[in-house]
Homo-oligomer: A and B are copies of this chain.
C-alpha cells in the first residue's frame, strides 16, 4: 500500500499537517493564521462540545452570548490584561463605510465585556454566584500560526463566574478544572492529562492563579489542553462588580474564568494518531462504527443495512459506506485516515459463511465475527479500545517522564523530548527563566503525588518541565 502520510518518526509536524489534509480535518483559511474546520473535524468538535456542555451545565453554569466587538477602552481597564493581549489584537476601524469614532477590538477573550455586564446584573449577595459560559469564536493575531494548535481565530468555550468570597471562587475554579475538564479529557478524549498550577510567569494576563491540564503528544511535547483561572478582585475592581453582603456592606466580587478550545482537537490527534491517520477514541467519535460494503453481491447490502440498524438500536453511532463504485482499498485507507474506531466489513464471501469482518482501528486487528454476534462484539470493542487508548497514552507518558534533581538536567531532558519532574525549590523562577531561554517551559506545578498544590510554596512541590506547542 502506498504511503499516505509522512511517518511520525520521520517528521512529526509534517505528519500532523498531512493527517489534517488527508483525513479532511482542517485546512488553512485565506487570511493568514485562520482555519477551515472540515466536516470530519467538526463532527468530532461537536461531540466534544456536547460532552463538555453537559458537564458545564451540571456544574451549574448557564450559557449566554456576549458581543464579538469590544470597545478598545475596556481592554485598558485591567493593566496586566491589556499588556498581555494588546500585541494580539485585531482592530476594526471602519464600519458601514465610515471610520469609527472609537475603534473596536475583536474579542481575544471576554473577561472585560462580561465584567461590564456582571456589574449591571449583580447588586446583592443573593445574585451570587453568577455562573456564565459561552461558546464562541475569538481572535488572537498569531505570528507563528499552526493549524488547530495556534490559530488567529479559534472556537472555544469561555466560562466567567462571580462569587461572594475568594474561597467560593477558588472552589469553583477547581470544580471546573476537575469535574469538567479533567473528567472530560480522561474519560472522553482518553488523555491522561497532568493537572497542576501554572507558575507566576505562565499565568493568564490578569489572573492571580491559573490551573492547567497538560497532555503529552506523540512526539513527547506538552500541549496545554485547558485552563481555569482565579482572577481575584482584579476584574471586579476594573469593572466595578460590587455587591452588598449579608451585613449590607458593599464588597467587590471575586471572579474566575476558564476556557478550552478547538486546540483540543489538535491535541486529540497528536496524542492518539498513528502512521495511518487519526485514531478517534470511541466516546469522542461522531461515527463509532463504519459498516462497509466490500462489494456488491446477493444480500450484501441488505445485511449491511441490517447491521447498521442493529448497531444504531444498541446506541452505537454508526454510518454505512455502500459506495461500491469506489474501490474498496481506497475506502479502507480513507476510513483508517479518519480514525473510525471500528469498521465492519460486509462482503459476499464472508457473508456466505454467516460472517462479517471486524476491524479495530486501535491496533488494526481484523477478525471474522458471526453476523448475529456483531452488536455485542462491537459494543465490547468500543469500550475496550477507549480504555486501551488511555492506557497506551499513559504508558507513553510514564516511560517518557524522568525524575531529575536540577534545572540543568530538567532542560536537558526536555530538549531530548521528555518531560522532566524536578523539585520546584531547586528550579525556582531563576531556573525557569534559564529554561525559557532554551525554549523549554515549566508546564505546571504539582504535589509529589500529582495532585494540585494550594500554593507554589508548599513543601515538596514538583515542576513539570518540557517543550511545548
Contact = CB atoms under 8 A, between A and B. Distances in A.
A70 interface: yes
A354 interface: no
A38 interface: yes
A116 interface: yes
Q: Taking the full assembly, how many copies of this chain does it contain?
A: 2
A35 interface: yes
Contact of A70 (B30, B103, B106): B30
Interface in A141-171: 141-143, 152-153, 155
Contact of A65 (B36, B70, B86, B104): B36
A155 B137 CA distance: 11
Interface string A42-86: 110110000000000000001111111111001000000000001
Interface string A7-38: 00000000000000000000101110011111
B104 A106 contact: no
A67 B74 CA distance: 25
A91 interface: yes
A92 B91 contact: yes
Contacts of A35: 67
A46 B64 contact: no
Contacts of A155: 65
A424 B66 CA distance: 43
A412 interface: no
A94 interface: yes
A71 B37 contact: no
Give the residue among A67, A74, A113, A120 with the most B Cβ atoms within 10 A.
A67
Nearest to A136: B137
Interface SS of A by simple majority: mixed
Given A94-B90, A97-B86, A106-B106, A71 B39 contact: no
Most chain B beta carbons < 10 A, residue from A27, A96, A141, A143: A96
Contact of A67 (B34, B67, B89): B34
Contacts of A136: 137
Nearest to A88: B96
A306 to B, nearest CB: 21
Interface residues of A, number: 56
Contact of A92 (B27, B86, B92): B92
A139 interface: yes
Given A27-B117, A69-B29, A70-B31, A63 B89 contact: no
Contact of A30 (B67, B88, B137, B139): B67
A357 B442 CA distance: 60
Q: What 5 A-B pairs have minimum CB-CB distances, sorted nearest first?
A: A96-B141, A34-B67, A39-B62, A29-B67, A37-B65
30 contacts: A29-B67, A30-B70, A30-B113, A31-B70, A31-B71, A35-B67, A36-B64, A36-B65, A36-B66, A36-B117, A37-B64, A37-B65, A38-B64, A39-B63, A42-B63, A42-B65, A45-B65, A67-B153, A68-B68, A68-B137, A68-B139, A69-B152, A89-B94, A90-B94, A90-B96, A91-B95, A93-B94, A95-B141, A97-B141, A136-B137
Given A29-B69, A30-B70, A90-B92, 18 more contacts: A29-B113, A31-B69, A34-B67, A36-B65, A37-B64, A39-B63, A39-B64, A45-B65, A67-B153, A68-B137, A68-B139, A68-B153, A69-B90, A69-B153, A92-B92, A93-B93, A126-B326, A136-B137
